[in-house]
Structure 1
Amino acid sequence: MLERIQQKFDLTGKVAIVTGASKGIGESIARGLAQFGAKVVISSRNQEAVDQVANNLRSDGLEAKGIACHVGDVLHLHNLLEQTVETYGGVDILVNNAATNPYYGTLENMDQGLFDKIMHINLKAPFLLANLCYPLMKEKGGGSIINIASVEGMKPSAGLGLYSVSKAALIMLTKSQAVEWGKHGIRSNAICPGLIKTKFSAALWQNEKILDQITRHLPTGRMALPDELSGLACFLASDASSYCTGSVFTADGGHMVAGGLA
């Protein structure tokens, strides 16, 4: 029985695309998927950066290829899929991890340009990329989409209002994908991280006052490291989660049950 359960986590022969994978959560998820046997496309804006991550994985005997892609450019998204298919023959797993938050402040002080940028990268790009992967997954008879949202999409904090809106919408996109595509064997789930020690969240954890406010309210009493997200992503990518779709999984040290910044 144990061997059978272990086999459910096996991703051998599967092809995964991970956006925003040159560092942080994306890099950690990509490494985890590769360690379970997947062929992983490392995607981010800078070709040198994705090549470095892919080279690091290959040096450990894992299968990976770096393909530069700015998810805000639809031509880049098409190229990402075309190169993935050309290299590996298809796609089974999509991890929409790339995101942006160029603004920390109140809603009334945000201009339209920032609104458009946040919604484009955090919502429209995952929508478009999943739609591009959809026919390939449908033809194969299934696939797994993992959208990296945020606890901010479930309970907003001051100063992160529009980021929260974009992540809340991504959660609903996840549920809509699950409803519409489940009949084709395509599952879609969302992961909502709390505070993770990455460059993306540096403005929070590098501020000792803010970090103290957050960690004092957490049952775990600390922020997480990126590799604490990879196991959950590997579960959702694999057959071990075959009955999970439209679900929202938090990895937040207890933020959603214990409160946090108001």
Structure 2
Amino acid sequence: MSTSAPLPSATPVSPDEFAGRTALVTGAASGIGLATARRLGQGGARVVIADYNAEGAASAAAALTDEAIEASAVTVDVTDPASVEAAVRFAQDTYGALHLAVNNAGIGGESAPTGDYDIDVWNRVVRTNLDGVFYSMRYEIPALLAAGGGAIVNTASILGSVGFAGSPAYVAAKHGVVGLTKTAATEYAAQGVRINAVGPGFIDTPLLQGMEKEAYDGLVQLHPAGRLGRSEEVAEVIAFLLSDRASFVHGSYHLVDGAYTAR
């Protein structure tokens, strides 16, 4: 299922924009992560596809390689610090250094009111969506410093700025990602590491294809733009934040939401 609104014309990509740089993207086997990895690779970056789904990561890396993008795959569990450390080391060992990182891995979790929310689900969502971003930055930042500087973008959500009934764990974790991003940005700005966040609205990914039309249309109506977003549109904002064009952008939180939060 998709909206009828036309996709805006793609902005021409310079193949030298990220030349000589290595990018690690978590949750990159599909969706926003894969679109971001592709966009960075089109700009000349060497891309490490990191995902819990080993088969999906390998398939994504192969697809990008077929598109003449230099890409490798690594399995990562962002809830495990040792696994994250190993993924960062893989990027360094494979390409010599790490310059860019996109911490995109995340899960949704079941829907229930706060007073009824399952504690195990809460812990799983927070471990993945918040702890996973902390663990990622914990090992990426030293790697970027060793490379002489770089940039990180964390994928938060529109729910990093507003509430959403039935999603207490997700909302709390995404608010935490925004705060963590701002804190780390202040700590490393003077050392040549820029850290920012994006807040996507509801994005038209394969996960929504099974929704009933009434539910899908309800999501669309929440966005004054009259449609859901595309992964490529989020990827374009991430690419800007990682690029030298955003050289004075530190600790920002960019909403990509079709005016969802502007209502």
The two structures have a TM-score, normalised by structure 1, of 0.91
1:231 is displaced (CA, Å) by 0.8
Aligned CA RMSD, in angstroms, stands at: 1.8
Aligned partners of 1:162, 1:115: CA distance in 2, in Å? 5
Measured against aligned partners, the alpha-carbon deviations of 1:237-261 in whole angstroms (never above 9, x if no partner) come to 1101111010010110110112xxx
Aligned to 1:252: 257
Q: Does 1:223 align with 2:228?
A: yes
Q: Is the 2:201–2:255 contact (alpha carbons within 8 Å) kept by the matching residues of 1?
A: yes
Correspondence for 1:115 among 107, 119, 122: 122
Whether 2:89 is the aligned partner of 1:73: answer no
Question: 1:156/1:9 Cα in 2 relative to 1: closer, same or farther (>3 Å)?
Answer: farther
DSSP-derived class of the 1:156 partner: coil
Distance 1:180 1:155 in 2: 26
User: Which stretches of structure 1, 4 residues or more, deviate above 3 A after TM superposition?
Assistant: 6-9, 207-210
The separation in 2 between residues aligned to 1:199 and 1:161, in whole angstroms, is 24
Match of residue 110 from structure 2: 103
| Residue 16 in structure 1 maps to residue 23 in structure 2 | yes
**Alignment check: 8 A CA contact 2:156 2:175 kept:** yes
The count of corresponding residues between Structure 1 and Structure 2 is 251
Q: Aligned residue for 1:134?
A: 141
> 2:156 is aligned with what amino acid?
A
**TM-score scaled by structure 2?**
0.90
Output aligned runs, 1:1-262, within 5 Å: 10-199=17-206, 202=208, 206-258=211-263
Contact persistence 1:8–1:239 (CA under 8 A): no
1:180-234 C-alpha deviation (Å, 9 max, x unpaired) = 111111111110000102245x39x814333333322422111112111111111
Q: Alignment partner of 2:106: what SS?
A: coil
For structure 1, the residue ranges without an aligned partner over 5 or more in a row are 1-5
Q: Secondary structure of the residue that 1:190 maps to in structure 2?
A: strand
1:9–1:234 contact (8 Å) kept in structure 2: no
Task: List gaps (5 residues or longer) in structure 2.
Answer: 1-12
Query: Once the two structures are aligned, what percentage of the paired residues are identical?
Result: 31
